[in-house]
Amino acid sequence: MAHDFDQALIRRGTDSLKWQRYGAALPLWVADMDFTAPESVVAALHERGEHGVFGYGAPPDELTETICARLADFYGWTVTPEQLVYLPGLVCGLNVACRAVGEAGDSVLVQTPVYPPFLSAPIYQDRQLITAELTAELHDGRLYYRFDDAAFAETINQNTRLFILCHPHNPVGRSFSREELNRLATICEQRNLIICSDEIHCDLLLDGRQHTPLATLAPEIAERCITLMAPSKTFNIAGLGASFAIIQNPTLRQRFKHAMRGIVPDVNLLGLTAALAAYQQGDDWLRELLIYLAANRDYMLDYVDRYLPAIRVTAPEATYLAWLDCRNAGIVGSPHEFFLHHAGVAFNDGATFGAGGEGFVRLNFGCPRTTLTEGLERIRHAINQ
């Protein structure tokens, strides 16, 4: 590989949230990889820094054209420049979508377990949160999650206006098939729901899988979609805050922009610079990253099978996040707290992901193999004590 993903980086003392939040514990929690960004991104930021002026920025036409071309090349999706709305972050987009769709008191549907901001965004925007739990199954000893069509449809009520989809899914690692997406979209169309599809992990599909943007299913589905994307997870530039919404329905897009007014800042200058460099010159790095992540996933699965048989785990189809069921591991109380205090390893607490998350932790394997190995060995020793 041209990029050395095995390189152990020193991130303590660099104001890293990941490495600072839990003190001396080994951090395998937040979705932030321990790899340097593509050299093209670093070089572009150096060049921008050397200019020495950091005034207000505006999204360059070249970035917009690059994004539109990328969507066409990757997915056969025709998106025009006016259909893009730039945002300083995906979580911001979730909140804007909740504010833009329906009225105060209306309900927003999400599927759990899910990325915690899905659970908070409706509440923050004076909406009612309703949830439909994904169905967990065992496939060859691995945790596997699927939609429960009946439960999903039954959860929708007369006040439901918006469904927020996580695709690919965080934390369960599913890359949903076109058939699954069609079933969901059909229910939403029948019940007249707007769909906000968070597709931030769309570039991180493993084993050669191909992502299907929800809005590409059919023109009538695109008309009710707010799609959220970003280069941040893909190229490890989340701290630079550059993302975008794709909204092809002009009326819905205007409502979204109206909801942004006065509360959503512009994307910062360095975020725009990094996004352009990543999308134009980062794909060789990305191809190597996906190979490394798949190998890390397989190593983690093999380790759990060999040494942690009481823990059940997903085999992620996408993302660099694994979902570990620790309910049969003999742990009293929260596994997050147990591993933090007895193993010195920080995971995300599954309880924060909503119904279906109690007794689970989320593990980030987007790190050098040595870091992953140390974390796994620490939890093995803690469980065996």
Summarize pLDDT for 358-372 with one digit per residue, the tens. Answer: 999 999 999 999 999
Length of the chain, in residues: 385
What pLDDT score does 319 carry? 98
Confidence of residue 138 (pLDDT cuts 50, 70, 90): very high
Decide if pLDDT at 1 tops 90. Answer: no
CA angle 204, 188, 228 (to 5 degrees): 35
Query: 325 vs 112, 293, 344, CA distance in Å?
Result: 15, 21, 19
* Amino acid 61: pLDDT: 98
pLDDT(18) > 90? yes
What is the reported pLDDT for 221? 98
Residue-range domain boundaries for the chain: 17-39+283-384, 54-281
Q: How far apart are CA 192 and CA 326, in angstroms?
A: 39
Average pLDDT over residues 67-79: 98
Q: Return the percentage of the chain with pLDDT > 70, whole number.
A: 100
Which option is the CATH number for 17-39+283-384: 3.90.850.10, 3.40.50.2000, 3.40.190.10, 3.90.1150.10? 3.90.1150.10
pLDDT in tens, 207-226: 999 999 999 999 999 999 99
User: Average per-residue pLDDT in the chain?
Assistant: 98
The span from the CA of 167 to the CA of 178, in Å, is 11
Cis check: omega of the bond before 213, within 30 degrees of 0: no
Using DSSP's 3-state secondary structure scheme, residue 166 falls into: strand
Is residue 140's pLDDT more than 80?
yes
- Burial of 294 by CB count in 10 Å (0-12 exposed, 13-18 middle, 19+ buried)? middle
* pLDDT one-digit tens code per residue, 336-357: 999 999 999 999 999 999 999 9
Measured CA to CA, the distance from residue 189 to residue 83 in angstroms comes to 21
Rounded CA-CA distance 50/290 in Å is 32
Indicate if the pLDDT at residue 75 is higher than 90: yes
Inter-residue contact 325 to 313 (CB < 8 Å): yes
Distance of alpha carbon 115 from alpha carbon 239, whole angstroms: 18
Q: In what order do the strands lie in the sheet with 312-313?
A: 312-313, 321-325, 360-364, 348-349
Instruction: In whole angstroms, give the CA distance from residue 274 to residue 241.
Output: 10
pLDDT tens digits for 177-195? Answer: 999 999 999 999 999 999 9
- Both tokens of 237, joined, read 């530039």
Structure tokens at 270: 């360095």
Residue 163's pLDDT band, with cuts at 50, 70 and 90, is very high
Query: Taking 90 as the threshold, does the pLDDT of residue 154 lie above it?
Result: yes
- DSSP one-letter code for 268: P
What proportion of the chain, given as a percentage, has pLDDT over 90? 98
For domain 54-281, give the CATH number: 3.40.640.10
Q: Is the pTM of this model over 0.95?
A: yes
Instruction: Answer yes or no: is pLDDT of 385 > 90.
Output: no
Q: What is the pLDDT of residue 232?
A: 98
State mean pLDDT over 304-333: 97
